[in-house]
Chains A and B, each alone.
Chain A
Amino acid sequence: MKFFGFVVVCLVGGLLLYGTADFPDWGDPDSPASTHLSDIYIEHAFEQTQVPNIVTAILADYRGFDTMFETAVIFCAGLACFLLLRDFKERKERFYRHVPTGVILHVKNSKKALRVGRDFEHIDKDWIPSDLIIKTVCRILIPFIQIYALYVVAHGDFSPGGGFQGGVIFGSSLILLAISYDLKILVRRIKEKVLGICAAAGVLVYVGIAAICMPMGKSFLDYSALEMFVFDPHHVRALGMLGVEIGVGIAVAAVMAIIYINIVSEGRHDEGL
């Protein structure tokens, strides 16, 4: 069976390689995409949208529908992760640590709960003493990572990046907090409800900006209809794209956190990596 699978894989791989031989060369000026489409974008993207980064102009304006449904797909991924994994049952046994002595208590009765405060703290089942170096380095790094994420979202028009990448970077800063400290700290700081609302609100911001264009007399996703809302009508398309990118960023950051929390705690949101 293994040999048979190997043969099939080799055949399919050979077919794929054979198929790629017909592709145009990398950067070939005579390829179909370069002869018709790219010229128009390169020549007219800046004067039509006032956005220096053509990739962002194509993704958020010319191909706005694609990006809108991509955001919806990301939202669906978070929703699926939540629906599959979320487990609302409380864990029966709990572990506490007596802070002054370091004695660990294992409470098997689910009704009995110790008061967590100065004397006792919750710990995970496989608890390792947290490292001072890791904690300190992450505490210094996380704010910079988050500022960088906001920069990536805000500068999507001018430099590489945009809502998706910025959202992923922001989400990974939250994940870094959970890894370096404790999952409980992240769950306590940012409630599950807030994450869910953020994920849905991001998609709603995108669709909302797109839909507002219709009562203003233009078609769906035509940002030039928003002229009366912005202070700089010349750059209305760039500002419309910025609003859309912010929506994408919010949705992606929340979904990344939702997926991580649900996977790492098996849906119980109590203990994890």
Chain B
Amino acid sequence: MPWQIDMIVLFFVILCAVAAITVKDLLSTAILFGAYSFMMCLLWAVMGAVDVAFTEASVGAGVSTVFFVAAVFRTSRRTKD
């Protein structure tokens, strides 16, 4: 696997992680976490851990995003800090 792809994906992982904690809107944070999980899933797949990638895609990018959105829907959408 060319290392350039690794680097691009890793850059996006860090970008999503930093964006998720700086953004004020919690709904955006949930979506950014989904994107983060998807990028991690790509990294696992590149490293050959296909089972882990599958779990990350279904749990991290799929269901947990929905749980976050549901929790935001029932609480508040903006953070104070």
Contact = CB atoms under 8 A, between A and B. Distances in A.
Chains A and B form a bound pair = yes
Interface of A: 26, 53, 55-56, 160-162, 164-165, 168-169, 171-172, 175, 179, 256, 259-260, 263-264, 266, 272-273
Contact of A172 (B50, B51, B62, B74): B62
B63 A256 contact: yes
Contact of B54 (A161, A179, A259, A273): A161
A259 to B, nearest CB: 7
Contacts of A264: 70, 73-74
A55 B51 contact: yes
Interface residues of B, number: 17
A161 B67 contact: no
Interface string B28-41: 00000000000000
Given A26-B47, A162-B51, A256-B63, A172 B58 contact: yes
Given A55-B51, A172-B63, A273 B58 contact: no
Contact of A260 (B47, B53, B58, B67): B67
B23 interface: no
Interface of B: 47, 50-51, 53-55, 58-59, 62-63, 66-67, 69-71, 73-74
Given A164-B55, A175-B66, A260-B66, 14 more contacts: A53-B51, A160-B54, A165-B54, A165-B58, A165-B59, A168-B63, A169-B62, A172-B62, A259-B67, A263-B74, A264-B70, A264-B73, A273-B70, A273-B73
B14 to A, nearest CB: 12
B62 A168 contact: yes
Nearest to B71: A263
A17 B69 CA distance: 32
